[in-house]
Amino acid sequence: MKSPRPPVVAIMGHIDHGKSTLLDYIRKSNTVDKEAGGITQHVAAYEIVHIRDDETGSRITFLDTPGHEAFKSIRARGARAADIAVLVVSAEDGVKPQTLEALKRIREEKIPMLVAITKIDKPSANIEMVKQSLAENDVYLEGYGGDVPFVALSAKTGEGVKEFLDMLILLSEMEHCTGDSDRWGTGVIIESRLDPKKGVTAVGVIKDGTVKIGQVAASIGTVAPLRFILNADGEQVPELSFSSPIQIVGWDNLPLVGAVFEIFEDKKAAQLYADSERVLAHIPKQEMQSANIEDGSTALPLIIKADAAGSLEAIQYELGKIARERISIKIVTAAVGTISEGDVKTSMTTPGTIIMGFNTKVDPQAAALAERTEGVTIELFDIIYKLKERVEELLTEREPKVEVEEIMGRAKVLKIFSKTKDKQVVGARVENGLIEKGSMLKILRREEEIGRGKVKELQQAKIATDSVSEGAEFGAMIESKAEITPGDYLERIVLVTK
C-alpha cells in the first residue's frame, strides 16, 4: 500500500559555492575537512530528521554531489536518484560554469528544483545580482518574474536553514512522493568501491520498498547476499525502507554507478536478473578499461587504481581532456581497489608504465616486488587535479623532441653587385629581426621559396660586422645555388628543438 515517503534531495552546483558546508551545518558534522583539498570527490548520502514548527519530525535524504566539472557524470547519476534538486548558488559569485551544467542535468531529469542562495553572511553578498544572473539563464525565481522557489541562507550562521528544510518538505508534499514499504526493495547505486576488509561495497538509495537481512540484492552483472546491511552512518541494521541510504556489502562484481538494484528472495532469481540486465546493457562481467600500445607509437602507459568507481570515472574524464601532438596517454588497465602484485607484474610487461593510485593503498606484496624491480614506479594521490598535473609533467618529459625552423630576421634585396659561381654579393635592408654572419637563409620570391643560402660575409657602411638589425642597409656575400634578384627576400632561419 502506497504511503508518503521522505524526499531524496540532490545538492548540486558550482565548486566552492557551499554545498558541503550547508550539509555540514544540517548534520552538525565536518565533512568538508575530511575531503582532500576541500573538494567533494564522491556522491555521499546523508539522512536527517527535521523538526517542524508543529513538532513533527520529517526525514530527508541528501545526496551531496561533486561540484567540479570533472564529476559531471557522477552529478548526473545523483540527479537520477533524486526526487528534488537543490541548485546552490553563491551570493558572492552568482552563476558559474558548473552551475549551468548542474542546471542542464536538472532540466534533463525533469525534477522539481529549489534554488539555495548561499553565503549571504559575506560582505560582498548580492542576492539581487544572483537573481539577475539566474534570470539571464532562464531561471526565474518567485518574486522575480517566475515560479522557481528559492531560499537565501548562510551555512555559517544558520540564517535561512530552517526555512530551507521546511521548503524541501513542502515541495515533497506537493510532488506526492510515495512508496510501498511492503514490496521488495529497489533503488539506485550512487557509489561503489572495493573495501580491503569488507570486499565490494556499494552505496545506494532505496527508492521504494524495504530491504532486509537474508534477502539478495542484484544489479547489472552482479549479486550480493544480504548477510548484513549498513545505514548511512555505517551501523548494522536489520532492515531499511524507502528513501534511506544503504550500504550493501559482498557483491561478486563491482556494481555500476548509476545502475538500478533490485531485491530478491533467493540467489537464483537474483542471478537471473543480474545476467539478463548485463546482456541488455552489453556489459562484460568484469568492467575494466584497457588499451594496447601500438608498436612504434609514442605513448605514456598508465595503470590507474582508485578507491571507488566514481573516482575512476572522474580521473579518466580529466585525463581524456589532455591532448598532445607527439605523445598520447594509454590506459593499460583502470580498476577499483588496492594496487596489487598483479598490477606491478602488468607494468613490467609494458616498459615505462606508471602505476597511479588515487585514495588507495599498495598491498605489501606489490610494494616488495616494485622495490626489487628496476623501472617500476608507483605514485599515490588524494586529489584528482594533482594526479592530472603529474600526468601532464610526465607527458612533457617523454614527448619526443623535434627540430623546427623559426624565422629570426627578414631582409629585402635591393641590388645585386656581383656573382661568381655560387657566391653572390647583394645589397639589402633589414625589415625585422636580425641578419647575422654565418646564418642560414631562405630565399623567397613572391613569398615562394626558391632556394637556400648562407651568409659568408656581412658589411654595414662598408665595415665588416657580425650582425645588422631592423631598418639598417647592408652588403652581404651569400653562398647559394639559387640566383638572387632585386625584390627577393632573405629570411634568417634558426633550428629550435621543441
Q: Tell me the average pLDDT of the chain.
A: 85
Phi, psi of 248 (to 5 degrees): -110, 125
> Does 305 share its domain with 440?
no
> Does 307 share its domain with 454?
no
> Does 383 share its domain with 428?
no
> Does 36 share its domain with 95?
yes
Angle between helix 364-372 and helix 341-349 axes, rounded to 10 deg: 30
Model pLDDT, residue 314: 79
pLDDT in tens, 66-111: 544 444 555 555 656 789 999 999 999 888 888 888 898 888 888 8
Q: Which three cell numbers stand for residue 172?
A: 515533497
> Does 133 share its domain with 268?
no
The H-assigned helical ranges of 432-476 are none
Most confident of 15-19, 143-147, 307-311: 143-147
> Percentage of the chain surpassing pLDDT 70?
89
> Does 268 share its domain with 293?
no
Q: Range of 87's domain?
A: 3-177
DSSP letters along 122-151, please?
STT--HHHHHHHHHTTT--BBTTTB-B-EE
> Does 344 share its domain with 323?
yes
Q: Which three cell numbers stand for residue 55?
A: 513538532
> Does 372 share its domain with 413?
no
> Does 144 share its domain with 194?
no
Model pLDDT, residue 262: 95
The H-assigned helical ranges of 239-298 are 267-281
- CA diameter of the chain: 107
> Does 37 share its domain with 109?
yes
> Does 340 share its domain with 463?
no
Q: What are the CA-CA distances from residue 179 to residues 171, 185, 248, 388 (Å)?
A: 16, 10, 21, 43
> Does 297 share its domain with 369?
yes
Which of 367, 383, 398 is the last residue before a domain boundary? 398
pLDDT in tens, 27-44: 774 444 554 444 344 556
Q: Any idea what the CATH number is for the domain that residue 323 is in?
A: 3.40.50.10050
Q: What are the CA-CA distances from residue 115 to residues 141, 146, 168 (Å)?
A: 8, 12, 11
Which of 177, 202, 220 is the last residue before a domain boundary? 177
Which of 352, 374, 398 is the last residue before a domain boundary? 398
Q: Any idea what the CATH number is for the domain that residue 18 is in?
A: 3.40.50.300
Model pLDDT, residue 208: 93
State the total domains in the chain.
Answer: 4
